[in-house]
Homo-oligomer: A and B are copies of this chain.
């Protein structure tokens, strides 16, 4: 995932994890871990792509796409990711919300 990059077509039936968060003030190790998690997620079986943006106000959205529930579960339970999730809850996110959705269709400027 690049912060300026589109995810590829994922196809109907893929799962989208919409993760919305409001950051606390200051970096506090967040940027480095976020980069590591992006790199690590992309190596997981069943990862299809991700898109992410965060505004100057600290409010951000990341959508990651996965082949199936098993892939989402494996990533959620990955050791390094568990540690990052714990730090996120404790320090980096003032609030967050996650929604798991199934892709029905997609289209874009490239057709």
Contact = CB atoms under 8 A, between A and B. Distances in A.
B57 A51 contact: no
A70 to B, nearest CB: 14
A54 interface: yes
A contact face: mostly helix, strand, loop, or mixed: strand
Number of copies: 2
Closest 6 CB pairs of A and B: A101-B101, A97-B108, A99-B106, A61-B61, A53-B53, A4-B59
A28 to B, nearest CB: 17
Interface string A35-76: 000000000000000011111111111010000000000000
7 contacts: A3-B57, A10-B99, A16-B16, A16-B101, A20-B63, A53-B60, A61-B61
B101 A103 contact: yes
A111 to B, nearest CB: 11
A95 interface: yes
